[in-house]
């Protein structure tokens, strides 16, 4: 997945030129459509997922992780849908699909094979927890947007490898925020690229919008965007940053005003988020 910067001037052009974009299994798209349909039953969803035996095995492995706290192991997708619910199984499908996709070091962003995965999962889980604590209108989309918020970095690192050394230098040595360094170097950011990618994947438009604006909640005034930006901050604060060599991403506490919480409430939530991530280690490592 390599191209040259001189032939690319925008995120749209980058996505348009790449022939081998990261993709999700077709079954994931089917799960998203069916899980949001109130007329679809567990048996129907299980039938569609069961067409892909390898994916079914991965999904059941996720479902049986200690995170979900079930008293017994589930042996079928239909059983998982009945026990956990449609929306949770939708999240399970996304986890099962993105785990192998995200398990790679991203030159310029993270030297660790698990850096993108662990950070992304942390943001997704914290955002999902936030919907239960704060009054935000994205209960069903928060986990997905959190998990995929940095997927654009996967594309940029793979497509523009010759420029990743410059990006690393700007972030680590010049101490620039990643999205500002991208904008200066490429003319576009991972948020833009990620949003375009999930549009290609035909995920709900709201998820693409949240990814596109997850560093811009002050400008948009969007509480859902503020939740993703805040979850990103919390993940970094709790040690789930992509690149430990890079300075902490700046966080404007005015984002808390958009989210509608105080600094004291934020401190309390950070403790809860830490507990959630501690309880999620088996899920995050798929053990």
Angle at 17 between CA 199 and CA 8, to 5 degrees: 105
Here the tokens at position 187 are 């003319």
Confidence of residue 134 (pLDDT cuts 50, 70, 90): confident
Angstrom distances, CA of residue 34 to CA of 40, 198, 213: 6, 18, 27
CB-based contacts of 125: which residues, under 8 Å, 6+ apart?
A: 143, 146, 276, 277, 280
The pTM of this model reads 0.92
Residue 205, number of CB atoms within 10 A of its CB: 11
Confidence of residue 92 (pLDDT cuts 50, 70, 90): confident
pLDDT > 60? residue 3: no
For 25-36, the pLDDT digits (tens) are 888 888 888 888
Domains and CATH numbers, the chain: 21-101 (no CATH), 103-287 (1.10.3210.10)
Q: Are 13 and 160 in contact (CB under 8 A)?
A: no
């Amino acid at each position: 997945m390599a191209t040259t910067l001189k032939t690319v001037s925008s995120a749209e052009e980058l996505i348009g030129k790449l022939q081998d974009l990261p993709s999700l299994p077709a079954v994931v798209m089917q799960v998203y459509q069916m899980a949001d349909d109130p007329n679809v039953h567990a048996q129907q969803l299980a039938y569609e997922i069961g067409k892909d035996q390898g994916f079914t095995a991965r999904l059941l492995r996720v479902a049986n992780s200690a995170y979900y706290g079930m008293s017994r192991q589930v042996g079928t997708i239909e059983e998982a849908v009945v026990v956990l619910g449609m929306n949770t199984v939708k999240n399970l499908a996304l986890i099962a699909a993105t785990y192998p996709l995200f398990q790679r070091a991203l030159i310029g962003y993270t030297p660790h094979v698990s850096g993108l995965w662990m950070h992304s999962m942390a943001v997704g889980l914290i955002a999902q927890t936030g919907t239960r604590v704060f009054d935000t209108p994205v209960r069903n989309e928060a986990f997905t947007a959190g998990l995929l918020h940095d997927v654009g970095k996967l594309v940029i690192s793979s497509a523009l490898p010759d420029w990743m050394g410059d990006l690393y230098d700007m972030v680590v040595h010049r101490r620039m925020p990643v999205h500002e360094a991208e904008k200066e170097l490429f003319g576009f950011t991972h948020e833009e690229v990620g949003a375009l990618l999930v549009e290609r994947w035909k995920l709900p438009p709201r998820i693409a919008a949240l990814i596109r604006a997850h560093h811009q909640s002050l400008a948009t005034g969007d509480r859902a965007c503020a939740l993703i930006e805040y979850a990103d901050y919390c993940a970094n604060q709790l040690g789930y940053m992509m690149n430990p060599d890079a300075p902490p991403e700046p966080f404007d506490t005015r984002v808390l005003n958009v989210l509608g919480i105080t600094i004291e409430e934020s401190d309390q939530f950070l403790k809860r988020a830490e507990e959630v991530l501690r309880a999620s280690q088996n899920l995050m490592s798929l053990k």
